[in-house]
Amino acid sequence: MIDNLPNTPDTAVLDAALQMVEIWNRLSADKQAVLLKRFGTQENALAALVTTQLLAPAQA
């Protein structure tokens, strides 16, 4: 996603966050509402999505 930045942990976090925002924007209003109800704010829901993405095992 970010082609001109070095491959650092900070870049990985930023890239994951940008991907999660894109995913959030593609979610239906119902799914967004469920996440908002569970996590309280969009920021918390996005943080949960990013954390899940970063902790997920690498796909082969």
To the question of pTM greater than 0.85 for the whole model, the response is no
- Residues with Cβ within 8 Å of 13's Cβ and at least 6 positions away in sequence, in order, are 50, 54
* Digit-coded pLDDT (tens) for 11-60: 888 887 788 889 899 999 999 999 999 999 998 998 888 788 778 777 65
Only one residue has tokens 């082969």, namely 60
